[in-house]
Structures are given as structure tokens and as C-alpha cells.
Amino acid sequence: MIARGLRTFRAQHTWTVDGLLARTGDWLVRNQRTVQRAQWGVVLVYFTLLIVPVLLPMPARAAHIWSDVTLFSQFVFWGIWWPFVLLSMILVGRLWCGLLCPEGAVAENVARYSRGFAVPRWVKWKGWPFAAFALTTIYGQMTSVYQYPGPALVVLGFSTVAAILTAIFWGRDKRVWCRYLCPVTGVFAVLAKLAPVHFRVDHDAWTAWSKPRGTKPPPVNCAPLVPIATMRGNAACHMCGRCSGFRGAVTLARRSPNHEIVHVAGDETSPTETLLILFGLLGIAVAAFHWANSDLYIAVKQTLAEWLVGHDVMWPLETAAPWWLLTDYPDRNDVMTLLDGAVLVGYIAAVALVLGGALGACVAVATRLVGRFNWRRFHHLVQSLVPLAGCAVFLGLSMTTVSLLKSDGIALDFVEPLRAILLGGACLWSLWLGWRIAGLYSQAPLRRIAAMLPLALAAGIAATSVATLFWPL
């Protein structure tokens, strides 16, 4: 009866926003074969653009995106794919993961023939999202992954091979790699909390549902291992649509983009997610964007070089590592010595610690100002910085998009004001989330206003660190 009522409601509201969203979810259920074909199309493009450039000579100085496969591949991966996939998380949740991700599609298909072993405890370690993101980001900078096809093959290819191996051993028909080990699963989970659409679960309808006599409802394979019955948010859901309409309780629906951060994140946040926001997205990622144009990086390197020369220790200045460890392209005048690599890693780590520590201290003060200090409140208030974290990474990655287009003579005069608008909007959004979250823990206006002062300082620190990428002090 509940399912019949749901179908009647949808029929009566076909052309409303809610009705169109519900129909879209139902379309995904009925057209999984079409989705699979689209996934294999993306897989084909992915492997082509990943492997072919490695087999070709490096592009000539006068080459263009539209005339050279290597530059075209570079533009697709780092100019379009990576920044705009992150943006899609904020707009439509993890739809990329569920419908288009080539790595997830390959892993799930391999998992059909999995050995089916139980997922070991070390795979489920909650620190992987932060550790994998940090290591991948730093390694990418060490090898200049955005500039050369070899490092791109190593980073993305290693991830794909690891996903396949994971699928062979654990989780039949599941995406164990995507759930626990993917280097960006934590980032995607955090940003998807802001999405204005989600698969809403009516828990009352789920509980009241009973199997029609004489029928067997179709099973739902939730590949990312999400407990659908208790799902409250977007963080883990891959938006694949397979559960739409299940038990008459699951519907693709709109929601406030503030809802999950304010009303759900307080119960589901973890220390790892806090580390990822403060020291990952607003620390390591921002430092990775900064180092190439940093006067501090140059000054530290020169100081260390002079000390080494003065002590007749020359090997760190003269020794280079293989290209898959440190950038090594002498024909392009682009070589990192051991000293360069050490200072790079130290710079990123130090800047991340300073930025993350400063932001954490501001949030800790705000937590105390709304009442007695409580770790759950602290983790919850950190979530208010998610819009700024997402904006920081998107703007940083889109620098590659802009530079590649400009090098081909494509002027983008609107970019500078657009950056300012996005960064200012992200600041205001974070402050609004902080105000809403503080209101959950204190009804006293003065306490809430007092708590907003350190939160405003945190937003200012984060925004300034990003702004100096484009408008140096």
C-alpha cells in the first residue's frame, strides 16, 4: 500500500522538482544496463588518455591542447576531470562515483569474481582517507604529476591496480576499495554533504513495509556498503540509484545544502574527518598549490644549499632521483635534486601544520565559548569550514585549467572576479554554518556571537591562504 501511494504521489507531481527527481531515481533503477555502458565508455577513454601519452614523445614547445594527445590528456585529467569532479560533489553528491568513475566500475566488475574473503580490520582503518590523500598529494608534487604523463600513469594507474587487487580478494559484487581505501573517498564524502540532492530514506516507511504475499522483491546491491536502512546523509552514498523506490522508502529528493552539516554531521563526524578538513584540504592541499611560487620555499632552499656548500657536502645538490620519485626531465630543464625534494616535503608539512593548527585553535576557542569544551562539538564546528575547504581545492586545481588555456591563447578575463566571488561566497557560507551549529549548543545570543569571532578568524585565515595564490601580499 505504501509503494502504491508513493507511485500515486509521483504520478500527481510528475513535473514538479520533486517529481522529476523521483522519476530520475526510478529511471536509474530501470536503466542499469545503460549506466553500465556509459561506465565502460568512460573506462575506455580513461585508459586511452592515461596510457597513450606515455608511449608518445614529449610535446613540442609550440604544441596545443587540440593538436597534441599528451597536452589534451593533461587538460582532460587535471584541467577538467579533477577540479570539476570535486565541484560535482557539491552540486549533485557522489554521482560521479556511482555512475561514471572508471576505477569504481572496473573494481565492481572484477568483484563479481572475488574470492569473497572478509574485509580485514586494517582495510577498515579510519585513518586511510586522510593518510592516502596526504601521501598522494605530496607524491604528486614531488613528481610533477600535473605536467608529465609518466607520473600521471603511476599515480592513477597504481590506484586502479590496487582497486582491482582489492576487488579480487574482498567483497563480492562490492566496492571495498571505494569505501575504505580510495585516496579521494574522504574528500568526496566531506564535499557531498553540501549537495542539495540526496537519496532520502523514509525510516517510518521502511519499518512499516511488508513483503507482498507471493512476491519476492528485487534485491538491492549497494556496492559501497552503505547501510541503506539507517542512511541519513550523502557522505557514503554513491548516488547510483539502485535503491530508488526500495520498500517504498527511498527517493531521490532535494534538501537544504546546509542540512547534513548542521543536523547530521554532529552525530557522524570523526577525528579523521577533522584531520582531513583542517590539515588535509586546508593544509596540505593549499601548501601544495603554494610552494612553486613561494619566496619562503626558495629562501629555505638557498639557506640550506649555502650551508651544505660551506661544509663541502655536495651530493644533495647534485644527486637526482628517478622520475618516478622526483621530477627528472633534464631536456625540459626541470630536475629536482634531493635537496629540492626534501625542502618541498618539509615545506608542505610545515605549512600544513601551521595552517591546520591555527584553524583548529580557532575552532577550539569557539567550541569553548558555546559551553564546556566537548570533542563532539569541536568536530561538528570544524564541519562549518567545509565550504571553504571545497572552494580552496577547486580554485587551486582550476589554476591548471586556466594556465593551460592561457598558454594556448585563450583569454579568460572573467576568472579573477569569479575567483573573488567564489571565495567570498564560501566564507559567508562557512560563517552561516558556524552560526547554525553554534545555535544547537547554546541558545544564548551573546555566546553564539562570541563563538563567531574565532570562527570568523578561522575563515579569514583559510581565505587569505587561498587568496594569496592569486593576489600576493
Residue 6 in this model has a pLDDT that exceeds 70: no
Confidence of residue 319 (pLDDT cuts 50, 70, 90): confident
Neighbours of 335 (CB within 10 A): 15
Residue 424 in this model has a pLDDT that exceeds 70: yes
Cα(250)–Cα(29) distance, rounded to whole angstroms?
Answer: 12
Average pLDDT over residues 112-125: 93
Nearest to 400 by CA among 43, 65, 96: 65
pLDDT in tens, 45-72: 999 999 999 999 988 888 889 888 999 9
pLDDT in tens, 68-108: 899 999 999 999 999 999 999 999 999 999 999 999 999 99
Q: What is the pLDDT of residue 15?
A: 66
Residue 4 in this model has a pLDDT that exceeds 70: no
Confidence of residue 339 (pLDDT cuts 50, 70, 90): very high
Q: What is the pLDDT of residue 407?
A: 84
Q: What is the pLDDT of residue 9?
A: 46
Give Cβ neighbours of residue 303 (< 8 Å, ≥ 6 apart): none
pLDDT in tens, 233-262: 999 999 999 999 998 899 999 999 999 999
Residue 372 in this model has a pLDDT that exceeds 50: yes
CA atoms within 13 A on the CB side of 399: 20
Q: What is the pLDDT of residue 62?
A: 81
Angstrom CA distances, 103 to 123, 149, 158, 178, stand at 18, 18, 11, 9
- Of residues 1 and 396, more confidence is placed in 396
Average pLDDT over residues 180-209: 94
Average pLDDT over residues 104-115: 94
DSSP states of 359-384: HHHHHHHHHHHTSS--HHHHHHHHGG
Residue 383 in this model has a pLDDT that exceeds 90: yes
**CA angle, 101 as apex, 98 and 105 as ends, to 5°?**
80
Average pLDDT over residues 130-157: 95
pLDDT in tens, 298-309: 999 999 999 999
Indicate the average pLDDT of the chain: 92
Residue 215 in this model has a pLDDT that exceeds 80: no
Confidence of residue 14 (pLDDT cuts 50, 70, 90): low
Q: What is the pLDDT of residue 60?
A: 84
Q: What is the pTM of this model?
A: 0.93
